[in-house]
Amino acid sequence: MLAGLDAIDRLIGAVLRPVVFLGMAALTAVITLQIASRVLFTSVSWTEEVARFLLIWITFLGAALAWQQGRHLAVSLLRDSLPDGARRVVTGAAILISLAFMIALTVIGIRYMNVQSFQKSPSLRISMTYIYAVMPLAASLMAGLSVIDLIRLMAGRPARAGSPQ
């Protein structure tokens, strides 16, 4: 079972890594086009909107990727100084709190998507549901990764690769 969860964990990272990279490349290209169009000819109207939407998606998906890689900031001085049993309990409590927050963020994100479903973006005229969909998507990915961390911890393994128990 743990091998399957590890495979899911790695798959999430393998999918998110190129998506975030392509989003950054697209954001760079759109901003370059925006600058060039302002300097050389009439400004392209949709570039600012696309850049904003790409930044929103990159932020949330990048946060999920950082979660998968165990790269979010953490103050672990107290936890790391505890004996093994207490360290595992504190780590488990932190994972449960994070899981509760991610579930709440998923629910709130879905509600927000529904509330904004009638709204269209000014330039592209696409439904804002697609823009706001990244919040519950990223939060549910992080919630799933938290569940995997909790199962690893209960099995006696570190929650994230390279992290102390």
Please tell me the predicted confidence (pLDDT) of residue 163: 54
Average pLDDT over the chain, rounded to an integer: 92
pLDDT at 162 over 70: no
Across residues 124-148, what is the average pLDDT?
96
Q: Distance between CA atoms of 99 and 105, rounded to whole angstroms?
A: 10
Q: Which secondary-structure segment (H or E) carries 142?
A: helix 134-154
**Distance from chain centroid for Cα 31:** 23
Percent share of the chain, pLDDT over 90: 79
Provide the β-strand partners of residue 9: none
Predicted TM-score of the model (pTM): 0.91
Across residues 23-29, what is the average pLDDT?
98
Contact between residue 48 and residue 59 where contact means Cβ atoms under 8 Å apart? no
pLDDT at 15 over 90: yes
* Pairwise pLDDT comparison (2 vs 28), residue with the higher score: 28
* Pairwise pLDDT comparison (131 vs 76), residue with the higher score: 131
- CA-closest candidate to residue 135, choices 118, 160, 122, 116: 116
Q: Distance between CA atoms of 139 and 143, rounded to whole angstroms?
A: 6
- C-alpha distances (whole Å) from 91 to each of 2, 60, 104, 110, 159 are 18, 24, 20, 28, 8
Across residues 148-159, what is the average pLDDT?
91
Q: Distance between CA atoms of 27 and 58, rounded to whole angstroms?
A: 9
What three-state secondary structure class fits 120? Answer: strand
| Start-to-end Cα distance in the chain | 19
Confidence of residue 128 (pLDDT cuts 50, 70, 90): very high
Please tell me the predicted confidence (pLDDT) of residue 122: 92
Confidence of residue 161 (pLDDT cuts 50, 70, 90): low
* Pairwise pLDDT comparison (160 vs 124), residue with the higher score: 124
Contact between residue 58 and residue 27 where contact means Cβ atoms under 8 Å apart? yes
Q: In which residue are the tokens 């999430």 written?
A: 12
Longest dimension (CA), the chain: 65
Give tens-digit pLDDT for 57-79: 999 999 999 999 988 888 888 88
- CA-closest candidate to residue 146, choices 102, 84, 88: 102
